[in-house]
Structure 1
Amino acid sequence: MPTLFELFGIRFYFYSDEHLPIHVHIQNGDGRAKVNVYPTIEVVSNNGIRPKDIKKALVIIETYQDDIIDAWRKYHGE
């Protein structure tokens, strides 16, 4: 389960056997969520992360979207 980065107490990661669409999992002390990164950024599921932290995570994902996509493709061989 490679961690891409951790910012503001939110960990961004993906699993080694992921599937499309390109997405990341996020985790903080309150819970976990899954967010599609490409082709559009959208929350797929949220289990316990507060709305303000989801908003913060979405801004981070938007800022680093290209880096996340590159890391995903490099790791999964796409």
Structure 2
Amino acid sequence: MAPTVFRQGAFRFFFFSREEPRMHVHVAHTDGEAKFWLEPQIELAMNQGLSKTQLHEASSLVQDHYEEIAHA
């Protein structure tokens, strides 16, 4: 199961409920997908196809919505 936490523009932020214990969020976009670790700090874990600009925007959105993501 992959619940969506929120959508912003062309980005969809979601997680796989039984993937792994370390808190993280996946970010899907029509151009690709990324994964961000949330602990111990927000950092890029994986990128497939997103540009530096898209990654920067996604990272900013993860930071802005951190509480919402962590609560989900």
TM over 0.5, shorter chain = yes
- Contact 1:23–1:36 (CA under 8 A) maintained in structure 2: yes
- Contact 2:15–2:26 (CA under 8 A) maintained in structure 1: yes
What percent of counterpart residues are identical? 32
Query: How much does 1:17 deviate?
Result: 0.9
Query: How much does 1:66 deviate?
Result: 1.4
Partner of 1:75: none
| Deviation per residue, 1:24-69 (Å, 9 max, x gap) | 0111011011111122100011000111011001111111111111
Provide TM-score, normalisation by structure 1: 0.84
Regions of 4+ moved over 4 Å: none
- Contact 1:23–1:38 (CA under 8 A) maintained in structure 2: yes
Summarize the alignment of residues 22-41 of structure 1 with structure 2, pairs less than 5 Å apart. 22-41=23-42
Does the residue aligned with 1:38 lie in a helix, a strand or coil? Answer: coil
- Contact 2:14–2:27 (CA under 8 A) maintained in structure 1: yes
Over aligned residue pairs, what C-alpha RMSD do you find?
0.9
Provide TM-score, normalisation by structure 2: 0.91
Q: Quick one: distance in 2 between partners of 1:10 and 1:17?
A: 22
Query: More helix by proportion, 1 or 2?
Result: 1
